[in-house]
Homo-oligomer: A and B are copies of this chain.
Amino acid sequence: MTNHVTRAGGTSDSRLTQPAYDIDPDDIPDIVIRRLPIYVRTLKGLVESGSRSVSSEELASLIGVTAAQIRRDLSYFGKFGKQGKGYDIEHLSGAIEQILKLDRQWPMVLLGMGRLGHAIASYRGFSRSSFTIAGLFDADPAKVGEKVNDLVIRPMSEVADAMREEGIRVGIIATPRVQAQEAADLLVKGGAEAILNYAPVILRVPEHVTVREIDPVSALQSMTYYIDRD
């Protein structure tokens, strides 16, 4: 789930909102990291609505968590608020984006260009959110060469080389289930450190690679448990 990064030498600028000592990503619970995107999203919504600052209490009620949790989560990374005032929305939003490394655009490769792959390739939500699909790949020679949104589908065998050449370290798997592990292996070979997996399989990857599953079927299958009458 996590890797073993240690950030290099702390700076001595005491005005930084980041704590002066180094943060080891391994010291911060992954569950906290997974909440940060929701904080950013909600803060950006507040910016749109014209607000300038929020208290942890207000933010918490918007998100549906406790104020204590928000304050504790943020305290892992530094001090971002003002007692009596709350948080400056733009500042906090920017700070979390920096923590998550969302202050840049991440190119991604997409593996598997069936129905699902096509839908993902055409999805507009990624680019607004620091991500760009930069390469499409499929194992089926019949699909290779097809053009999808200005990108040409390339042969699966070229993934690893393409990733290294283009400095891509994020991959999306949208292959059929049985080819997903193979796809993951290729991504790892290409130097992937983050994999978004739409295939219904648990992938085996080295410890330094993070994987997140997108699994609507499992989500549905767990909800029916709670449904009352038949």
Contact = CB atoms under 8 A, between A and B. Distances in A.
A112 to B, nearest CB: 13
A218 to B, nearest CB: 4
A43 to B, nearest CB: 13
Q: How many copies does the complex hold?
A: 2
Contact of A218 (B5, B41, B210): B41
Nearest to A214: B216
A155 interface: no
A99 to B, nearest CB: 7
A120 to B, nearest CB: 8
Interface in A180-227: 193-196, 200, 202, 204, 208, 210, 212, 214-227
A223 B170 contact: yes
A41 B200 contact: yes
B130 A221 contact: yes
A64 B228 CA distance: 32
Contact of A223 (B62, B194, B218): B194
A72 interface: no
Nearest to A209: B226
A175 B189 CA distance: 37
B169 A220 contact: no
A157 interface: no
A145 B218 CA distance: 31
A3 interface: yes
A148 interface: no
Interface of A: 2-3, 5, 25, 33-34, 36-38, 40-42, 62-64, 99-102, 104, 106, 108, 115-116, 119, 122-126, 129-131, 169-170, 193-196, 200, 202, 204, 208, 210, 212, 214-228, 230
27 contacts: A33-B225, A34-B222, A37-B217, A37-B221, A38-B218, A99-B225, A100-B222, A100-B225, A101-B224, A101-B225, A102-B221, A102-B224, A104-B230, A106-B220, A115-B119, A115-B122, A116-B119, A116-B123, A131-B217, A131-B220, A169-B227, A170-B224, A170-B227, A193-B226, A194-B220, A196-B219, A196-B223
